[in-house]
Structures are given as C-alpha cells and as structure tokens.
Amino acid sequence: MNSRFARSGDGFLHCSDGHVRWGLFGAAGVVFVVDEGDGPRVMLQRRSAFAHEGGTWSCAGGALDEGETPLEGGLREASEEVGVVPSGYEVLGQVDFVPADDWSYTTYVVAVDERFGESMNFETDDVAWLALDEVEALPLHAGFAAAWPGLREIIDS
C-alpha cells in the first residue's frame, strides 16, 4: 500500500533531558481494542528487525509530522503500518509519556467494531489480536511495556 517516504517529522531529536529520541515533533501510537462478547481483544504488532527494538510487540505508531496532532499522527502511522482504520472508531483514553520539555509520546486506546490489520510495510512482521492477559506474556517494546498498565486500566474501565 504505502512505501515509507521521508516525512517532516522523521529524524532524531536531542531532547531537553539529554536523550535522543525518534520524532522531531514527538510521536504517537494507537492500541486498537474490539469487544467480542467474551472480553476485549487488543491489536499489537511485532516489530521487524528494521525497527527500534525489533522482535518485540507494541502498538502501531511513530513520529508526528509538523502541525499534526498526536491523534492524527497515531492514526496515520497505524494506517501505514497495519492498514486502514475502520470508520466509526471511538477514542477511549490516552497515556502520555513526557520525559522532556520538547518531546512526548502519546498512546491512544481506540475502540473499533471489528478486527482489521496486517503487516503493511517493513516495520511490522506480524499483527495479532490478543486477550489482555496474553499481552504481559509477550516480549514487549520497553516504551509500550511502561505504558501498558495505564492502557490496560483504560480498557478495563
């Protein structure tokens, strides 16, 4: 579908806290959740060897473009990595990681009515819909693992 071309937010930023992070304007991701009657399932992607912390599981996401809101960027990144987001989605909440004055990562929990998704580019090796208890058993991307308790709290409520 979409081969990845350089975008305005692509690049590393030397953040005010001394760390170097991806996304000149910050970054965002989306955890999609569907309720199938026997409990919620969340979509995660296994990151390819070409991505940061390849082989780990996380949500779709990445660098924001200039002028893009975190929600716009997270949904755009998801469509590039796992496919077109179904219409009629509902934002349930968000977890913000703000380690520096000039950089943040926002992870949204977004409810959809049906499962979707597949690997759309080199960044994603696999896509899976998982029960909440299955998530902790996976090798998780460090940033996603740190956000997961807050994300799960949103999903559980």
**CA–CA–CA angle 148, 17, 13 (5° rounding):** 85
> Could you tell me the two tokens for 94?
């968000």
Q: Is the Cβ–Cβ distance between 58 and 143 less than 8 Å?
A: yes
2: in domain? no
Is residue 5 situated within a structural domain?
A: no
In a structure prediction context, what are the per-residue pLDDT tens digits for the chain, which is 157 residues long? 344 556 888 899 999 999 999 999 999 999 999 998 899 999 999 988 888 788 899 999 999 999 999 999 999 999 999 999 999 999 999 999 999 999 999 999 999 999 999 988 888 889 999 999 999 999 999 899 999 999 999 999 9
**Degrees to nearest 5, angle at CA 44 with 83 and 22:** 80
Exposed/middle/buried for residue 59 (C-beta within 10 Å: 0-12, 13-18, 19+): buried
Residue 134 within a domain:
yes
Q: How many structural domains does the chain have?
A: 1
118 within domain boundaries: yes
Task: With respect to residue 107, please indicate whether it lies within any of the assigned structural domains.
Answer: yes
pLDDT at 153: 97
Closest CA to 42 of 106, 121, 100, 128: 128
Residue 115 lies in a domain: yes
Residue 65 lies in a domain: yes
Domain residue limits at 56: 12-156
Q: What is the CATH number of the domain that holds 122?
A: 3.90.79.10
d(CA 122, CA 6): 14
Residue 4, pLDDT score: 52
- Residue 3 resides in a domain: no
Task: Please state whether the predicted TM-score (pTM) of the whole model is above 0.75.
Answer: yes
pLDDT of res. 133: 94
- For position 141, what pLDDT does the model report? 92
Q: What is the pLDDT of residue 114?
A: 95
